[in-house]
Structure 1
Amino acid sequence: MSLKIYHNPRCSKSRQTLALIKEQGFEPEVIEYLNTPPSAAELDQILTMLDMEPEALMRKGEADYREYIKGKSLDRAEAIALMLSYPKVIERPIVIHDDKAAIGRPPESVLDIL
């Protein structure tokens, strides 16, 4: 059984989601994605698991989004590459449990995959 959380310790929702997972008796692999972003293949797989396109997983309020991504016509590979170049734009937290994924917004939404 594999359980990972793509985590930003400065984000309250990410901290709450991690605490909720631990309350459920799990010890997830914690990946601080700003320091260790996923590979392009991993992010593509995460998007597939979430049944989302890259644009839907982007934080549109981030300065990096407005400066480098907003208004551009990007294919999937280009969007993923930009997300990895500017990882602050990736929505957080993302929890992966075996072959399922969920975004911890609200934190309780990850309970469905545990």
Structure 2
Amino acid sequence: MIQIYHNNRCTKSRQALEALETSRKAFEVIYYLETPPDLLQLKGLIEKLGVKPIELIRKTEKIYLEKYKNKSLSDEAWLEAMVQHSILIERPIVVSGNQAVVARPLEKINELLK
């Protein structure tokens, strides 16, 4: 089943959710700010995305600017930061099986809906 890590206050996330609804494929919405992924889940997402943890960090968030800007952290430290502050996780993430995309631009979802 397809999953979307969703933040309803984010325009791109709402657009991705709408695209999934239009696709008529079964999917699950994960409100990751309310039920954040734990370290193991986050590592799984990173692996499916094929990115480094720093690439999943939202660098415009207030918490990033206050605590992490201009810091060089290890992959493990970035993972811990995202576990502690789930708002730092880029969105929306759409997962299908062993594949995942950050749906920016929105068309990236099409890779999973084939």
TM-score category of the 2 structures, normalised to the smaller one: over 0.9
1:62 aligns to 2:61 (yes or no): yes
**Conserved? CA contact 1:4–1:97, under 8 Å:** yes
Q: Residue 14 of structure 1: SS of its match in structure 2?
A: helix
Per-residue CA deviation, residues 91-113 of structure 1 (Å, 9 max, x unaligned), is 00000001100111121211101
1-side partners of 2:100 and 2:79: how far apart? 17
What is the aligned residue count?
Answer: 113
Match of 1:78 in 2: 77
2-side partners of 1:64 and 1:34: how far apart? 14
Superposed, 1:1-114 pairs within 5 Å as 2-114=1-113
Per-residue CA deviation, residues 46-71 of structure 1 (Å, 9 max, x unaligned), is 11111111111111111111112222
Q: CA deviation at 1:84?
A: 1.4
Q: CA deviation at 1:27?
A: 3.0
2-side partners of 1:91 and 1:40: how far apart? 16
TM-score (norm 2): 0.93
TM-score (norm 1): 0.93
Q: CA deviation at 1:36?
A: 0.6
Gaps of 5+ in 1: none
**Conserved? CA contact 1:20–1:108, under 8 Å:** no
Q: CA deviation at 1:73?
A: 2.6
Identity across the alignment (%): 39
Q: Residue 96 of structure 1: SS of its match in structure 2?
A: strand
Q: In the alignment, residue 14 of structure 1 is paired with which amino acid?
A: S
